[in-house]
Amino acid sequence: MIKAIRGTRDLLPPDTALWNFAEAAVRDVFRAYNFQEIRTPIFESTELFARGVGEETDIVSKEMFTWEDRGRAASDRAQSLTLRPEATAGIVRAYIEHNLGDRGLNKLFCIGPMFRRERPQKGRYRQFYQIDAEVIGPPSSGSDSPARDAEVLEMLATLLDRLGISDWNLELNSVGTPADRVQFNEALRKALEPVVGGMCADCQRRAVTNPLRVFDCKVPEDQPVIETLPRITQFLGEDSRKHFDAVQEILTKVGVRFSLNSRLVRGLDYYTRTAFEFTHGALGAQNAILGGGRYDGLSEALGGPAAPGIGFAIGEDRLILSLQEKTTAESVLRKPDVYIAPMSSMNAEAARLARELRRHDLVVELGDDNFRLKKSFEAATKTGAKYILIVGENEVKADAFALKNLATGEQVQVPRNELAARIQLEAKS
């Protein structure tokens, strides 16, 4: 038997109803903050992620699904392509390519699959889904303002609360600007020098190439050493400090709770200043429900104009896991309002009725006239329909149909032109 590849999975009904429920809430909340949807390709040139996310990150150095695309003609030059491991680099590429800054399109969101070759476990997959949002624009648009950071964080708190995920934790840090990090990297290298020999191979490499990435290390034996390392917070310049203070001041004012975590540097190189994660206890080891931050130099790194930005990606798989604590798929699933049961030779009449009722926005399951009445009742009950509507010769002649409430057993004869209203009344109650 051919099975789904390890780390990928089928999202099946009724769970998909929960995914749609979450996405509908997300779209509603994003609309209130004036975000608009963008859909970027699922694969891009490898160079985009190498330059955007950073060669030294785990994502780029170990986890990407990359291949050489030869084109069709023998003379075509091979190009290295990669399944997107995240959405920000692609969105910023699109922002540059289509001059979105000039068009005032600076609040964008995207929902879709991402791909990372990670070791699969609960909440961690090789194909997973992100709900990503970015605020990006020319400096004149105020996209570098701490007000934007706070607005994005407040929006996330609103969204999680609205979904009934209330016991989240917002962890906040500032990773400073590249200028702030010159001194910090220096201090880190110095602190690592005498101890790095006892650390994992990755840390030994990172200590030379990109010491900040040592904080991404998950090896338990390395953690006591990492705990003793200097923190970026001590190296923030005046401007970064003020920016970070302003973000915290607004959050406090609007009532969004947070805790400071000076170890939080996030696993992507593009971050500047504000960096954050929302965690949720019920998730277990993979407890980051979402992560994000500011990336003021990313557009320039990709060859674009100055365009400071801030954004986040919610791990949708993990969002659903958290949601399932309180909300079941069954509770958000819309079951059929009515099951139409045609008696012998009544398929055409039944189809006509189904068409009429569906035009009134009712969910209709259409039976088959091969079924005897008993089998129709069984089928109707199995679908979870509220009503069964019997379409027999007498009913068609009278233009009035037997409508039976499957829960109460109550049966009434309803004229054709009153059917939709009658069923709707029940559907809404």
Q: Look up residue 247 and give its two tokens.
A: 């973000």
CB 156 within 8 A of CB 259: no
Which of 128, 339 has the CB closer to ligand HAM?
A: 128
CA angle 116, 121, 125 (to 5 degrees): 30
Of the chain, the end-to-end C-alpha distance in Å amounts to 46
**Of these, 289, 338, 341, 403, which contacts ligand HAM (CB under 6 A)?**
289
CB 27, min distance to ligand HAM, A: 18
Q: How many CA atoms lie within 13 A of 49 on its CB side?
A: 26
Q: How far is CA 70 from the centre of its chain?
A: 32
Stretch that binds ligand HAM, among 12-20, 229-237, 243-251, 287-295 (CB under 6 A): 287-295
CB 381, min distance to ligand HAM, A: 38
Contact mark string toward ligand HAM, 103..142, x via CB under 6 A: -------------x-x----xxx--x-x-x-x--------
CB 291, min distance to ligand HAM, A: 3
Place of tokens 């992620």: 49
Q: What is the DSSP string of 301-321?
A: HTT-----EEEEEEEHHHHHH
Which of 60, 420 has the CB closer to ligand HAM?
A: 60
Which of 52, 342 has the CB closer to ligand HAM?
A: 52
Interacting residues with ligand HAM between 308 and 347 (CB under 6 A): 311-313, 315, 317-318
DSSP label at 198? Answer: G
**Of these, 25, 105, 195, 288, which contacts ligand HAM (CB under 6 A)?**
288
Q: How far is CA 322 from the centre of its chain?
A: 13
Q: Does 291 bind ligand HAM (CB under 6 A)?
A: yes
CB 212, min distance to ligand HAM, A: 15
Which of 132, 349 has the CB closer to ligand HAM?
A: 132
Pure H helices in 210-237 = 223-227
Using CA atoms, how far residue 267 sits from 48, 212, 277, 337, in Å, is 16, 10, 11, 48
Q: Does 290 bind ligand HAM (CB under 6 A)?
A: yes
Around Cβ 35, how many Cβ atoms within 10 Å? 21
Which of 266, 386 has the CB closer to ligand HAM?
A: 266
Contact mark string toward ligand HAM, 66..105, x via CB under 6 A: --------------------xxx-----------------
Q: Does 380 bind ligand HAM (CB under 6 A)?
A: no
Q: Does 146 bind ligand HAM (CB under 6 A)?
A: no
CB 329, min distance to ligand HAM, A: 19
How far apart, in whole angstroms, are the C-alpha atoms of residue 257 and residue 235?
Answer: 25
Place of tokens 């310049």: 237
Q: Does 189 bind ligand HAM (CB under 6 A)?
A: no
Burial of 250 (0-12, 13-18, 19+ CB in 10 A): middle
CB 128, min distance to ligand HAM, A: 3
Q: Does 292 bind ligand HAM (CB under 6 A)?
A: yes
The SS3 assignment for 99 reads: coil
* Residue ranges with strand state E in 266-410: 272-280, 288-294, 309-315, 338-342, 364-366, 387-391, 400-405
CB 393, min distance to ligand HAM, A: 57
Which of 202, 317 has the CB closer to ligand HAM?
A: 317
Which of 181, 280 has the CB closer to ligand HAM?
A: 280
* Residue ranges with strand state E in 29-148: 36-37, 43-45, 66-69, 79-83, 107-115, 127-136
CB 139, min distance to ligand HAM, A: 18
CB 272 within 8 A of CB 178: yes
Strand order in the sheet with 79-83: 43-45, 79-83, 66-69
> Residues in the site for ligand HAM, rule: CB under 6 A?
86-88, 116, 118, 123-125, 128, 130, 132, 134, 267-268, 288-293, 295, 311-313, 315, 317-318
